[in-house]
Structure 1
């Protein structure tokens, strides 16, 4: 049985991840601004309503970990925000909103988890093919895709900084997955992979991928819009 933290569990991939880990017998801390009743009612899931970009909410997480768990076996940074606008229409507030969740939220949560991550633990960041250098890029996603590139570099850096402690950091750069966020970015597009299917892949990678990889960016894609 593992202790696993997952962000962005109110819908889509994060919601499916929380259920799949919990149904397999693992203890899950589900972090999101809104909490589905199904997760609240699961015996293996603890839920916190938090905004990862605020110091007060980070304190909630620290208090839970220090009083409930003695260690964290894995963290899955799944939460994400997206603004779909032409670059000329993007404001500083738009960029700040996206970066607060997609970059600062990842950094903040990782920082408070470090003292509880033992040798053999695994931190997985869900990025996007849009954040991969040289990949196909799409108009309207300047804030989102650049933020996903930022967390790739952050994960690579942390893998080096904490390798002596035996904490693995890896990134899964996803292609098209049928979620509400995909529909916001590409209305009408039908992805070949469901949230449930990709959650199954992420679950397995979280539990076993650190045996084979550290500081790696794995491209998980069969299709782009």
Structure 2
């Protein structure tokens, strides 16, 4: 049984992942701003944890709870993401800051605060976007979101280098189009070839086994544009 921390579990890919990990017999610590959706599942192997990744105190409280339940974390999946589509000429810096607080600083802080719990070949998987990959197709209005997703790609590479002499592995998955609420907001009317459940299945398997083959790597998980 693995002890797995996942952020952004109230809907979409994160929600599907926690159910699949639970079905496999693993212990899941499910972090989201609103934990009610997860709580309603009433799964014995899932701890719903209300956590705002923009709030250092909230992150610390979540980590304290995890520490009260386990002495190790085998897998961390930084899945939570805040989306923003806004024309650059109409940029609201406060909105941009909100995106970075969740998508970058939240990843940075939670990973940092869990360091002492990572043991025995732990695997940190961060979910990025094809929009954050250098040279990929870009779309107007996504300057804040896509640049934040680029930041966590570089962060992953840096952490893998810094901890290369340990058993800790860091990898990042840049996802293409997945049928989620976020996709509908970004590209109304677009039908993705991959469902949230299907993508969750891929990430679950990668989180459990990918560290045996990859460290510090960006994997592009996409079969379409956008």
The residue aligned with 2:167 is 166
1:38 Cα offset (Å): 5.5
1:164 Cα deviation after fit = 1.3
C-alpha separation in 2, matches of 1:92 and 1:73: 36
| Aligned equivalents of 1:180, 1:141: Cα separation in 2 | 16
User: Normalized against structure 1, the TM-score is what?
Assistant: 0.98
The runs of at least 4 consecutive aligned structure 1 residues that moved more than 6 Å come to none
Whether 1:212 aligns to 2:213 is: yes
TM-score (normalised: structure 2): 0.97
Specify the alignment match of 1:26 in structure 2: 26
Secondary structure of the 1:6 match is strand
For 2:4, the equivalent position in structure 1 comes to: 4
Equivalent residue runs for 1:45-60 within 5 Å:
45-60=46-61
Aligned residues of 1:32 and 1:48 also touching (Cα < 8 A):
yes
Query: Is the 1:122–1:167 contact (alpha carbons within 8 Å) kept by the matching residues of 2?
Result: yes
Query: Which moved further from structure 2: 112-121 or 4-13?
Result: 112-121
Cα distance between partner residues in 2 of 1:67 and 1:76:
20
CA shift at 1:7, angstroms? 0.3
Aligned-pair distance for 1:62? 2.1
**2:202 maps to what in 1?**
201
Q: Secondary structure at the residue paired with 1:53?
A: coil
Q: Give the unaligned 5+ runs of structure 2.
A: none
Q: Deviations 1:147-206 (Å, cap 9, x if unpaired)? A: 000000000000011121210000000000000001010011000000000000000000
**Quick check: 1:19–1:39 contact (8 Å CA) kept in 2?**
no
Aligned residues: 225
Task: Structure 1 unaligned segments of length 5 or more: list them.
Answer: none
C-alpha spacing 1:39/1:174, structure 2 compared with 1 (3 Å): farther
Pairwise CA distance, 1:51: 0.3
